[in-house]
Amino acid sequence: MLNFSVAFRALFFKCLLQTHRSIATNKQEKSQTVHSIMLEALKKVVSECTPGKSVYELTRIGNETIAQLASEIDEKIKKGVAFPTSVSVNELVCHVAPIPSDPEAKYILKEGDVVRIELGAHVDGYITQAAQTLVLGQPDEDTANVLKATYLATQALKKVVKPGNTSEQAVEIVQKICADFGVEPMEGMVSQQLLQNVLDGPNQIQFKPPKDQKPVSFEFKEGEVYALDVMLTTGSGKTKQSNVRTTVFKRNPDATYQLKMKTSRMVFSQIIKECGTMAFSLDQLGDEKKARMGISECESHGLVTGYHVVKDEAKVAHLVLTVLLAAEGPVVLGNFEWKDVKATKEASEEIKKLLK
């Protein structure tokens, strides 16, 4: 739990008020609460991430921990999963949150696996996200280097992503670290601004945009909240779609369509009621058969957007933390636990000086 001075508490409250445009008087408390929930859930999944555990077991642990802790909050307040727990192993890079019948659900972790865990929680729409990469055993040279580069990139972003700086400066610092370690950002992965009830705010930092897409530069402002999402690879960074079924989705609140199938209408109604505008997995909807049938029509008509499973045969590390931009420095609202690794490469003197 963060310790705030009286002056900093006042500033923190002001920042959240500007960011989320709400008249509630307890935003600070909500943000601290959701940070605690998210951190506890991530710690629980990490502690259970051992050889012999299945991917499905771990995703359920994360989601159920968030739900259990959130249930202790005032029942009048909406709260719970903001991004479903995904456990992506080895070449499957992200968004693996299988339903029981999926082959990925039955995968049993073994020594040497590289495991990427991602999840998010919210209280009254105030969101925190985090991701952590684990190696079950000792990492090889390439894995250690990409892990260290990814960690240093998140720490450098905490220094650079601040009021008055620009997104171009954030991209530049990550690219310099990548050059030092001989790695690449994963194409298409972005660090996103978070708003109340909004996972994908207007400002997005693209460390490696597709060649046909020009990134938009913007200035960071006090009071904004960002999920600093860094995914680096020892490969080319080119995004590759896997053949794994998409099971993570998010509703598009501005989209409208009169669904034809009764099952689709039931599923979409459940999504609106239970998930709101937060991301969800089909497993959260309960009835696997109905969920699979209903989500298809919802997606084909743009009512929901899927988070597809990306594949990369190279070594990939993924870390995410959530920060609030304050004048005195970033306030971490969602974080991961870092255990140092013995990398054979190191950052330049410029980066070392920045991180002091």
Q: Is the pLDDT of residue 77 over 80?
A: yes
* pLDDT tens-digit series, residues 311-352: 999 999 999 999 999 888 888 888 898 999 999 999 999 999
Q: Is the pLDDT of residue 5 over 70?
A: no
> What average pLDDT does range 193-218 have in this prediction?
90
Contact 92, 162 (CB under 8 A): no
223 in the Ramachandran plot: left (φ > 0), alpha (ψ -120 to 50) or beta?
left
> What average pLDDT does range 199-223 have in this prediction?
90
**Looking at per-residue confidence, does 252 or 335 come out higher?**
252
Instruction: Give this prediction's pTM.
Output: 0.89
> What average pLDDT does range 96-123 have in this prediction?
96
Q: Is the pLDDT of residue 12 over 80?
A: no
Q: For all residues of the chain together, what is the average pLDDT?
A: 90
Q: Is the pLDDT of residue 31 over 90?
A: no
> What average pLDDT does range 98-117 have in this prediction?
96
What residues contact residue 258 under an 8 Å CB cut-off, 6+ apart? none
Q: pLDDT confidence of 11, banded at 50, 70, 90?
A: low
* pLDDT tens-digit series, residues 39-73: 999 999 999 999 999 999 999 999 999 999 999 88
